[in-house]
Structure 1
Amino acid sequence: MRRHVLSLATLATLPVMAEAPIETLTVTADLRQSALERLPTSATVLSVDELKDEGAEHLEQALGRIANLNWSGGSSRPRYFQIRGVGEQEEYRGAPNSSVGFIVDNIDLSGIGMAASLYDIAQLEVLRGPQGTRYGANALAGLIYVKSQDPTELFEAGTELSFGEDNQQTYAGYVSGAADEDARWLYRFSVQQHSQDGFRDNLYLGRSDTNQRDELTLRAKWRWQPSEQFQADLAFLHANLDNGYDVWTLDNNGFDTLTDEPGVDSQRTNGASLDLQWAINDRVSLQSITSWANTHGRHAYDGDWANDEYWQGRECPLYDENWNVIGTGPCEYSYFWDKSAKRDTLTQELRLASADAGRIFADTTDWLVGIYFNELQEGNDLDSRYNGWPDQVLKSDYRAKNLALFGQLDLNKGRWDASAGLRLERRQSDYRDDAGEAFSPDENMWGGHLSLGYQLSDSQHGYLRLARGYKAGGFNMGLPEVLKPHAQFDTETLYNLELGLRGRWLEGRLRSDLALFYMDRRDQQVEASLQDPDNPQRFFLYTNNAGSSDSYGLEWELNYQLSTVLELYGSLGLLKARYKSYRVTEADGSETDLSGRELAHAPNFQYALGATYRGEQGLFANLNLNGKDAFYYSDSNDSRSDAYATVNAKIGYEATRWALYLWGRNLTDERYGVRGFYFGNEPDLDWAPKQYVRYGDPRQLGITFNYDFY
């Protein structure tokens, strides 16, 4: 592994200038929109300035800064996330059941996180650990929340242009202001068009754009505030990602492909949310949050990872009608997998909460009660071809309804504060496909939290939190006889114990956020796969329950405003996640004992270091380093990634209304795996299992120009 050293020795000679305290951040994903310093759970909040300083255009480019958050590269943009080793690596079966919540402006996009442009974003929030009281079954591991900029009373507008290697072209703009003289109607619109070739050269087709990214994002927000007692916020999102998917190679070279049928990874999402808030009186307030999302997606790939000419130049065994080898001859291997999906999601939440005069227990305790409804419908159309013949062809329909009641009490007395929350949830689901399989499980679940906090001083706060999260059980379709015992799997529960300390020191210039945690997972749901020995091009993907697993570790974030022109920051995530008991079924019916092994996509450490210089004369510079330990790609085999680190930089000049930057990502051109498989995909090798790796983006240099109108 390459080593990267960031020397900060010269920084000690810089003068500490007038006090420049770090801004106070509010967590909007919390029920009460608490200040980060008083939030009793591990969380990261990245502000718009922090995201811009590192040049992050998409969520993918911000993930390396967030402790104990990993992602699976099985799609053109990150769609599947893991927090503290909990989460999905892919979803091919058509019955979504997310462990990590993903929400954009109150629009639930859990499991389809590709629609995550960061242009015109106010902040990015990540809540770690089960969020059972607030979000229920879709937040067993935690939550990712993207909040865009709100409308402004004063008129403002801006534009951004970016050009870079890999034929990147990005055009963006926004406008915001008041629609009437009294500023009761406010609006904001933004648009971004991003395109690039995708860092792959298809040597067979002679093209450099078979892995292209062609992404359009439109956002709109309206705010109506006719009085101080009422406010309505309407948000709209349109994201159209027309991306290619051509990332796998037989020789693992990473960036030179040979496919004759390049894949597709497209997603078109339209979504909206309506947030209504009434201050009924000085004792009670009412809030209604309604959201809707419609997504059409297609994920397709060339499963043989080559072309007819390549395979005909290879020698393969020839078989008779009884599958006896009778000689060798040119290989015949062509496979294309293609799934189209349509998803509709509708959510409705009502909250009744105490106002200042409505506190109970001697005016020490705020209360909140609510009801939540979610309906998800998804239809899938799978069509795969093997050597020109239909292979796996399936149409399916899935529907799930969730109804929940929840409540929370928040006590504040002197230096002490405490919180208690409970959520009761009823889930009903129904699945049907044209192969004749049908499942209709329903279940009752519950989760919640207890926390106790103490204000050690005016600027330091400690807390202890116990939380219970849950994830609904489900079913597996299309299983062979050897896997029939795994046709259904049980609800998973997760108990999380956390000790945290947040605070500011050195007159507010140093901010530290430390959390220690232990997690106990019961009936853990594990993704597994089995290659069909009779039809090696096919895989049986299923979920089963491990007996149990446990995890422990820490998250630590630091921000230090060394002077008025220089800020240092960093994060560290340590994680030890392992099975206490788990046996996986093999093709011959035997079992492999994985008890004691680490979980997939759960690196032992992740870290980030960075420095931002913003001079008084307009000069700007940012240098940051992100690193990650090796991890298992899957729970079904021992295939692992390599540890790696990437270096990124951004320099430029900032004037009052305009700015010009030069930037570079992965400056050392580190080759790092983001997804891997271990299976047989080469008939000339008699389908012998082998590790195949998909790599992240190589080095890229570019330029960005911003102009703002005021």
Structure 2
Amino acid sequence: MIKTDFRHLSSRSLLSVSIASVVLGMGSFGSAVAEDFTLEEVVVTAQKRAESLQDVSVSVSALGGDFMQDAGISDMNDVAQHVPALTVSTNSSPWNTSFRMRRIGNEGNIPTFEPDTGLFIDGAFRSRSGLGLGDLVDIERIEALKGPQSTLYGKNVTAGVVSVTTTSPTQDFEAMVEGSVAEDSAYNVKGFINGGLSETVAGRLSMSYSERDHLVENVGAAGDADDLQSYALRGQLMIEPSDVLSIRLIAGAVQREFDGPVGDVEWGASAQAMFPALGAPITDNTLGNRKIDYGQGVNEFEQDSYEFTAIVDYDLGYASLTSITSYDEYDVVSTLVDTDQMGLDIIKFNDTTEGYSYSQELRLTSPGGETVDWMTGIFIYHNNFTRGEGDDQDFVLGSDINLLSLGFTGNLDPNALGQPGQYADVYNEQDTDTYGVFASATWNISDVMSLTGGLRYSYEKKDAEISNTSTALASGNIAALPDGLIGALVPAAGQQWKPSDSWNAVTGNLTLEYHWTDEVMTYLTAARGFKAGGYNLGWGGTAFADRPFDEEVVETLELGWKSRLLGDRLQLNGAVFYTEYTDFQSAAFKGLTFEVNNAEQVNNIGIEFDGLYLLTENITVNFAASYVKAEYDEYTKGSCAYGVTPNGPQAANGFCDLSGEDLPFAPRWKANAGVQYETQLWDGDFYARTDVSWVDDHIPSSSLDERHEQSDYAMANVKLGWRNASWDFSIWGKNITNQDYAVQYAPDNVLGALLQDGSQQVFMNTPAAAGATLRYTY
């Protein structure tokens, strides 16, 4: 591990030192530097046409490929350190990655529960945040659009959009290969080759491979957890048969196979008293030390996913016609050998999910720069999701279930929780069909003022099926579990349910934009968004009548600004906003099962800004901050934290009233700052970079359990290197202060739900790492 003199600083002081250095630097050098260097223009496609970042009336953060290379950004967790409005969290696998924008988002562990922040890759919507992205290699740009984007993007974007644009093929031949080595036996190889195949066809092939040793030590009999082995491959063709027509074909594949992360458990008093009598004494009970005690095995994770996108642009003269056709499919298997998270052979969970999606967007866009600029289009999307194979054994009781039963019943009935070999088959399927029609127009009233309005009609239909069976046997010895452990997951009578429903809405936005000078622009936006309802599929004893959840509606008002100051050397953008969610779809893990319901109202109010400053010709400074108060204004069906008695209007149904509480995973403040220095050395350039990010205290737990409060923390990354036109060598450190923090808390998987003794688990962040990277470009 890296040891530095920064370790004695608190997280607040560490960020203060960095920001103070930036401010002092701006004051010292701002009036003395030369005036012959300026910021480069950043082009984004936030409103589905190429525009300067400083001219687009949307709060958007854009990270270009060069910046990502300089800052050592390799995955979406790294991206979130540079975009305070974005939160990325992962627990048991990358497949469960979830995005939160402006603190709004949901659990990633429910495969049929769609996110509030939509992921788009090369303009194509992706149903899962873990789909289609391996290592971030050969990326041209990542844009984070903040706030509801339902008019142009439509599906599942009530919090925002993460848009990833990969690098297109060109006729110029170029190639790159890069290798990195780091602590924990980690290494990564990635590269690309690009060039013309004929006068009208260019191709590009990119790949990456990553491997890392385990980060979680198992003190039990089974192996360690949380290693990494991941492959990604992407091939592209750019076909340009004429000056007015281009066809871009993109095919990608991601394969992962490793021992996934697992929860680090702290057992409650009842479990601690029981384990020694079962012959399974607790050897480690420290929460958050990255040690587990699993006796049979850990989380065996496999993912195979594929995607194809075809982008056709045709210039009609009066407008351009764009077609985006996309198909993706995936097959994911996660085997929790020790689902119970103890050293005994109690229960195994084989979680198999697969699915496919196809979509078609047709868009007609005016050239721009006219009195009225317009855009109109249609969107069609189909998704099929399946969990379980219908004839497999998803939950299987192990050989020690009788031993655990004796512990529960005081040596009265060894079959109270079930018998070895009892199993449950879980089969869920859902088909989703989405249709949208949208139009947007901008009236350029004058050289300094414009008015933009947009409307979208959305229709969504879902057909679902639950067909769960089990061999559960009633014992009657435990009142809370009359059908034993398997029966708590799938009742002995089975579960057969085929719901179907549809939702539709008209959403839109209205934006007034005003340019005060050539350097300063402000905008005022009012927007309405929509997300369709759905169903709680999966297992558990939730009654069918309680499984549907309602649609989510969002309304927002935002005042933003864009500016380029100090002779075009300082870019300072920001926004203040107020957002109100009605029937916000809220998800929670309650132990044994997940559940989604609706919070009556969530209010989201905040301010955010980001900046880029060319301090001198050699020094560049970037900084950003986000303050958000995300609060349940009314939520009467919230999950009750451990030790909290159900209360409020829904107390009789076992719920707690969380009205007035901050949302989980919602720190009030997040901020980051970075400084890069570059100077000529030999026949190349020496460069050095430092980045610091800070996160305020918050509760990363769906039930808002006060035991799970995460205090504020800061993380710092450093990088030193030398490069020329061909070679780039760097040494770097991530999380150099070895800051530990909780990504997510939850009840433990099984036993805590049975004992109700507060047993809990935590998923921790990635610890400090140091490494070196060598890159060659031809």
Q: Answer yes or no: is 1:398 the counterpart of 2:451.
A: no
Residue by residue over 1:282-320, the C-alpha shift from the partner in whole angstroms, topping out at 9 and shown as x without a partner, is 313211110111111123333222322xxxxxxxxxxxx
**For the residues of structure 1 that align with 2:209 and 2:590, how far apart are their CA atoms?**
40
Q: Bigger shift: 32-41 or 568-577? A: 32-41
* 1:11-22 correspondence runs (5 A): 16-17=33-34, 19-22=36-39
Q: Bigger shift: 456-465 or 638-647? A: 638-647
Cα deviation, residue 168, structure 1:
0.7
Look up the equivalent residue of 1:580 and give its one-letter code.
D
Look up the equivalent residue of 2:213 and give its one-letter code.
D
* Maintained 8 Å contact 1:107/1:293: no
Q: Answer yes or no: is 1:339 the counterpart of 2:403.
A: no
Task: Identify the structure with the greater helix proportion.
Answer: 2
Match of 2:381 among 352, 374, 378: 374
Match of 2:463 in 1: 430
* Maintained 8 Å contact 1:268/1:295: yes
Residue by residue over 1:430-459, the C-alpha shift from the partner in whole angstroms, topping out at 9 and shown as x without a partner, is 011223111111121221111010111112
Match of 2:716 in 1: 647
Residue by residue over 1:647-704, the C-alpha shift from the partner in whole angstroms, topping out at 9 and shown as x without a partner, is 1111011122101100100100011111111458557994401442211011100000
* 1:262-661 correspondence runs (5 A): 262-280=298-316, 282-301=317-336, 302-308=338-344, 334-355=346-367, 363-381=370-388, 383-386=394-397, 387=401, 388-390=420-422, 392-412=424-444, 413-434=446-467, 435-477=495-537, 486-531=546-591, 538-539=592-593, 541-584=594-637, 589-617=653-681, 618-638=685-705, 639-661=708-730
Cα deviation, residue 393, structure 1:
2.8
* Maintained 8 Å contact 1:254/1:694: no
**For the residues of structure 1 that align with 2:259 and 2:332, how far apart are their CA atoms?**
12
C-alpha change, 1:684 and 1:604, in structure 2 (3 Å) is closer
Q: Bigger shift: 406-415 or 683-692? A: 683-692
Q: Indicate the SS of the match to 2:264.
A: coil
C-alpha change, 1:143 and 1:380, in structure 2 (3 Å) is same
Cα deviation, residue 476, structure 1:
2.3
Match of 1:237 among 231, 249, 252: 252
Q: Bigger shift: 110-119 or 397-406? A: 110-119
Q: Answer yes or no: is 1:46 the counterpart of 2:63.
A: yes
Q: Indicate the SS of the match to 1:49.
A: helix
Match of 1:149 in 2: 167
TM-score (norm 1): 0.90
* Maintained 8 Å contact 1:343/1:379: yes
**For the residues of structure 1 that align with 2:774 and 2:627, how far apart are their CA atoms?**
38
Match of 1:312 in 2: none
Q: Bigger shift: 33-42 or 671-680? A: 671-680
**For the residues of structure 1 that align with 2:73 and 2:699, how far apart are their CA atoms?**
27
Q: Indicate the SS of the match to 1:584.
A: coil
Match of 2:220 among 200, 204, 217: 204
* Maintained 8 Å contact 2:207/2:232: yes
C-alpha change, 1:452 and 1:509, in structure 2 (3 Å) is same
Structure 2 unaligned regions, length at least 5: 1-9, 266-284, 402-419, 468-494, 639-645
Look up the equivalent residue of 2:597 and give its one-letter code.
N
Match of 2:769 among 700, 703, 707: 700
Residue by residue over 1:94-138, the C-alpha shift from the partner in whole angstroms, topping out at 9 and shown as x without a partner, is 423221111222343232336242111111111011111111132
Identity over the aligned pairs, expressed in percent? 25
TM-score (norm 2): 0.82
Look up the equivalent residue of 1:698 and give its one-letter code.
P
C-alpha change, 1:677 and 1:623, in structure 2 (3 Å) is same
Residue by residue over 1:234-259, the C-alpha shift from the partner in whole angstroms, topping out at 9 and shown as x without a partner, is 11111112232243222314322222
Q: Structure 1 segments of 4 or more deviating over 6 A?
A: 478-482
Match of 2:741 among 672, 675, 687: 672
* Maintained 8 Å contact 2:745/2:763: yes
**For the residues of structure 1 that align with 2:752 and 2:323, how far apart are their CA atoms?**
57
* Maintained 8 Å contact 1:71/1:674: no
Q: Answer yes or no: is 1:25 the counterpart of 2:57.
A: no
**How many residue pairs get matched?**
668
**For the residues of structure 2 that align with 1:449 and 1:602, how far apart are their CA atoms?**
26
Residue by residue over 1:460-481, the C-alpha shift from the partner in whole angstroms, topping out at 9 and shown as x without a partner, is 2110011111110112246877
Look up the equivalent residue of 1:380 and give its one-letter code.
R
Look up the equivalent residue of 2:244 and give its one-letter code.
Q
Structure 1 unaligned regions, length at least 5: 309-332, 532-537
C-alpha change, 1:22 and 1:560, in structure 2 (3 Å) is same
C-alpha change, 1:297 and 1:479, in structure 2 (3 Å) is closer
Cα deviation, residue 48, structure 1:
0.9
Cα deviation, residue 215, structure 1:
0.9
Q: Indicate the SS of the match to 1:583.
A: coil
**For the residues of structure 1 that align with 2:542 and 2:208, how far apart are their CA atoms?**
49
**For the residues of structure 2 that align with 1:683 and 1:373, how far apart are their CA atoms?**
44
Look up the equivalent residue of 1:273 and give its one-letter code.
T
Look up the equivalent residue of 1:522 and give its one-letter code.
T
Match of 2:406 in 1: none
* Maintained 8 Å contact 2:54/2:562: yes
* Maintained 8 Å contact 2:192/2:204: yes
Q: Indicate the SS of the match to 1:523.
A: strand
**For the residues of structure 1 that align with 2:671 and 2:101, how far apart are their CA atoms?**
14
Q: Indicate the SS of the match to 1:577.
A: strand
**For the residues of structure 2 that align with 1:223 and 1:444, how far apart are their CA atoms?**
37
Residue by residue over 1:466-514, the C-alpha shift from the partner in whole angstroms, topping out at 9 and shown as x without a partner, is 1111110112246877766533221110011110011100111100111
Cα deviation, residue 523, structure 1:
1.2
**For the residues of structure 2 that align with 1:683 and 1:445, how far apart are their CA atoms?**
42
* Maintained 8 Å contact 1:261/1:336: no
Look up the equivalent residue of 1:188 and give its one-letter code.
R
Match of 1:189 in 2: 205
Q: Indicate the SS of the match to 2:51.
A: coil
Look up the equivalent residue of 1:204 and give its one-letter code.
G
Q: Bigger shift: 680-689 or 414-423? A: 680-689
Task: Identify the structure with the greater strand proportion.
Answer: 1
* Maintained 8 Å contact 1:640/1:676: no
Q: Indicate the SS of the match to 2:725.
A: coil
**For the residues of structure 2 that align with 1:551 and 1:422, how far apart are their CA atoms?**
23
C-alpha change, 1:402 and 1:53, in structure 2 (3 Å) is same
* Maintained 8 Å contact 1:298/1:338: yes
C-alpha change, 1:306 and 1:635, in structure 2 (3 Å) is closer
C-alpha change, 1:44 and 1:141, in structure 2 (3 Å) is same
C-alpha change, 1:200 and 1:19, in structure 2 (3 Å) is farther
Look up the equivalent residue of 2:302 and give its one-letter code.
S
Look up the equivalent residue of 1:625 and give its one-letter code.
V
* 1:124-203 correspondence runs (5 A): 124-180=142-198, 182=199, 184-203=200-219
C-alpha change, 1:117 and 1:29, in structure 2 (3 Å) is farther
